[in-house]
Chain A
Amino acid sequence: MTEAADSLLSVKNLSIDFGTPRGALHALRGVELEVPKGRIMGLVGESGCGKSTLAFSLAGLLPSNGRVAGGAILLNGEDVTKMSERELRDIRGRRVSMIFQDPMTALNPVATIGRQMLDIQYRDAGGKAEKRRRAAEMLDRVGIPDAAAQLAAYPHQFSGGMRQRVCIAMALLTKPDLLIADEPTTALDATLEVQIIELLRELQQEMGCAIVFVSHHLGTVAELCDDVTVMYAGEMVERGTVRDVFHNPAHPYTQALLECDPARIKDATRQLPTIPGTLPDLVRVPPGCIFRNRCEHAWERCATEHPPHYAASGPRHVASCHLLDKEGTA
C-alpha cells in the first residue's frame, strides 16, 4: 500500500491518561488516525470524547497531568511523543500550527498584531521590514481590510470574526504542513462561521497543508472535510471518507449522532431524537464495547469483547462495532 508513503500524520494505537485524585483517567484509548498530505480530516464527537485531547497531543500540548500511556504520533515518520521540549518547539509553528477555539484569548492583549506576527517568524530569514511585509500580506490574504495599517492595532480593536482571521493568518504565516483547528468557529456567529469555513478551504487549496479540523458541528464537517473520524468516550468508533460515514454510518453512535442533528429533521416535531444515557466512567473503563450501555443493538458479545475495527462500506471506512463482523455472527 502506498498509504503509508504519502501519510503526513499517523497516530498509532495512542493512549493518553490524565492523573486525577481518583486515579488515572483513560482519556484516549488505542486511537488510530491517518492524515495524508493535503487532506482535511474532521474530528467529531461530543464533549468529553477526547477530540480536543487528541488535537492538543498532536502538537505536544498536553496539560501537566496528561501522560502518553502508549502508542505513537508519527509526523513525517518522527514520533512526537518521544520529542524533547526543544524538539517540540522546533516543530510547532514550523510544521504544525494551531488555531484555537476562542480567538479572544488566543492573542496577547498587550502586544500589537504586528508585533505578534513578527515574533512568530523568529526562525525565518529576512529583516524586520521583510517580515512586516509578509505579515501584512498574510493579513490581507485572510481578508483584513487595510492590512498594513492594522499591524499597529491591538487585538481588542478587532471583532471576534476578525480576531479569528488574525489567528488563521498567524497560524499559516510559517507555512506549516499540518494545521490543527480546534473548534475554530464555535465562538462565532453563524454568518461569520460561513466566512471562516470558506476562508479555510481557500487557504488550504492554495497552500496545500493538511488540516485536522475538530468540531462538534456535523454540518460544517460535511462541508469542509474530506475524511472524518468519529470519537466516543476516548475511542475512535468510526473512520472513513465524509461521504461514506455520513451516507452509510456503520456505528450505532454515529447513526444516533446524525439523527440528533436538528438540521436533518425537515418536518416540525415536538419530540427530537436523543441519545439516552450518559458517558461511562473513564477512570474505571468498562470492558467490552464502550457504547454498549447506550446502544439499542447491544447483545452479550458487546459486554465482554472489545470490538476491533471492522471494515464497513467504503475502502477506507472502518467502524468498531460487532454488528459489522461478517464471520462471527453468520
Chain B
Amino acid sequence: MSPLLEVENLVVRYPAMGRVRAALKGAEPEFEAVADVSFGIKAGETLGLVGESGSGKSTIARTLMGLKRAHSGSIRFDGREISDASAQEYARLRREIAMMWQDPVGSLSPRLTVGALVTEPLKIHGRRADRRAECKRLLEMVGLPANFAGRFPHQLSGGQARRVGVARALALDPRLVIADEPTAGLDMSVQAEVLNLLAEMQTRLGIAILVITHNLNVVRHITDRMAIMYLGRFVETGPTERIFHAPCHPYTEALLSANPEPDPDAAQARITLSGEMPSPRRRPEGCEFHSRCQYARPECARRAPGVTEHGPQHAFTCHFPICGPSAA
C-alpha cells in the first residue's frame, strides 16, 4: 500500500535577515529550519514527530497545511503533489488534512459557542448538513455532553477545550489529522484522556495521524512509528517500540532518559546534555549533535554521519551508535 502522505527531501527556509544586509555582509539571507526530511504515513497509521523547541517540527506541520511554502522537496498526498498547490487547491485539501492546534483554548474563538465552533468547518467548506444534528454527533463522538453546545470557550476546562479541538478537526471526515502538541498544558490524567480519545478515533475512523510533540511519553502509546528531530533533521526514525527498547542515537537516548519514572529508587540514569541546541543559522560542522554528545569523538566534529539502516524501517544518523553494530 502506498502511503497516504509522502514527504521527500523537504527543505523549508526562513529569512535570517534582510536581503540588503545579507548582501552587504556577504551572508546567506535564509536559514534552513527543516533540512532534507523524508517520511511517509499510511492510512490508519500514526507517526510521532519528536523534538525540542526549534527542531523544526511545527514548521513541518505548517508546511503540510500549506501555511508555509517548501523551499524544495516534494509533498505527495494521496499520490498527488501538493507542495506547489495554489491557495484554492489548499482550501480544498484542508477538508482532507485537518489540524489540531497547540493551544487548546487559544485556538478557539472566544466569541463563538462550542456548537458554532464544531460546525464552523462545515460552514467554511460549504457543506450542506443539518448543523444541529452534526453538532450533536460530533460532541457525542468526542465524549462531551450535548448541552455543551451553548457554552463558550472560557467556560471549558483545558481537557474539554481539547475535545472541542478534536471535534473541529474531525468535522469534515479528514483522512489525515495533524496534532501539534495535543497534550501541552494538560494535567496528567487529562492528558491520558486526550490520548485515549485520539487512539479511539483512529481505530474507529481509520484516519492517519501525525503527532507532533516534545514529550516522548505522549508518542509511546499512540504512535506506530516515530521520528526524532534535531536542528531540522531526523536523527533517528523507526518503530516506536523498537526505539523505546533500543535507541541508537545518543540524542534519542538522552530524550528517553529525560522522562523519569515517578520512583525515587528507580535506577535513574538521567543523561545531562551539556549546553543547548545550537542555532540552525550556525550549524556545527560534522555531526550537528557532536557539541552536546557525551560519546563524541574527534571524528564527529569533522565528518557528518550518513543514514544507517538498522533493521526493518529503523534508521539513524550517527558514527558511533549506542545500539551496537548495525543489524542491516
Q: Which residues of A contact B (CB under 8 A)?
A: 46-47, 159-162, 189-195, 198, 216, 218-223, 242-243, 246-247, 256-258, 260-265, 268-275, 278
Contact = CB atoms under 8 A, between A and B. Distances in A.
12 contacts: A190-B52, A192-B52, A219-B259, A222-B264, A262-B217, A268-B221, A268-B241, A271-B199, A272-B192, A272-B221, A274-B189, A275-B189
B56 to A, nearest CB: 14
Among B240, B268, B272, find the residue whose CB has the most chain A CB atoms closer than 10 A.
Answer: B272
Contacts of B53: 160, 189
B258 A270 contact: no
Nearest to B258: A190
A194 B317 CA distance: 24
Nearest to A262: B217
A246 B262 contact: yes
B149 interface: no
The 5 tightest CB contacts between A and B, nearest first, are: A218-B262, A219-B260, A262-B217, A190-B258, A272-B192
B96 to A, nearest CB: 24
B238 interface: no
Given A191-B254, A274-B196, A218 B259 contact: no
Nearest to B193: A274
Nearest to B200: A270
Contact of A223 (B191, B216, B268): B268
Nearest to B55: A189
B280 interface: no
A271 B266 CA distance: 25
A46 B259 contact: no
A44 B260 CA distance: 16
A161 B203 contact: no
B262 A263 contact: yes
Q: What is the interface of chain A mostly: helix, strand, loop, or mixed?
A: helix
A260 B194 CA distance: 12
A317 B157 CA distance: 32
A257 B255 contact: no
Interface string B100-112: 0000000000000
A262 B220 contact: yes
A258 B189 CA distance: 9
A190 B189 contact: no
A194 B261 CA distance: 13
B188 A191 contact: no
A262 B258 contact: no
B203 A270 contact: yes
Contacts of A216: 187-188
Among B53, B188, B214, B268, find the residue whose CB has the most chain A CB atoms closer than 10 A.
Answer: B188
Given A189-B53, A219-B261, A272-B221, A261 B188 contact: yes
Contacts of A198: 272
A193 B255 CA distance: 11
A171 to B, nearest CB: 21
Given A191-B52, A246-B264, A262-B188, 6 more contacts: A161-B276, A195-B272, A258-B262, A268-B221, A272-B192, A278-B157
B258 A263 contact: no
Contacts of A265: 220-221
A173 B23 CA distance: 45
Contacts of B63: none
A256 B217 contact: no
B264 A242 contact: yes
B218 A191 contact: no
Contacts of B157: 278
Interface string B195-239: 110011001000000000011111011100000000000000000
B273 interface: yes
A203 to B, nearest CB: 15
B288 to A, nearest CB: 15
Nearest to A162: B276
Contacts of B217: 261-263
Contact of B261 (A160, A263, A269): A263
B264 A223 contact: yes
Contacts of A159: 276
Contacts of A278: 157
A198 B157 CA distance: 33
B199 A256 contact: no
B130 interface: no
A218 B189 CA distance: 12
Contacts of A263: 217, 259-262
Interface in B242-260: 254-255, 257-260
Contacts of A222: 260-264, 266
A186 B221 CA distance: 22
A190 B262 contact: no
Contacts of B270: 194, 223
Given A159-B276, A256-B189, A219 B262 contact: yes
B263 A220 contact: no
Contacts of A190: 52, 214-216, 255, 258-259
A192 B259 contact: no
A216 B184 CA distance: 13
A260 B189 contact: yes
B158 interface: yes
B272 to A, nearest CB: 5
Contacts of B193: 274
Nearest to B159: A278
A21 to B, nearest CB: 14
A211 to B, nearest CB: 16
Given A46-B187, A263-B259, A194 B220 contact: no
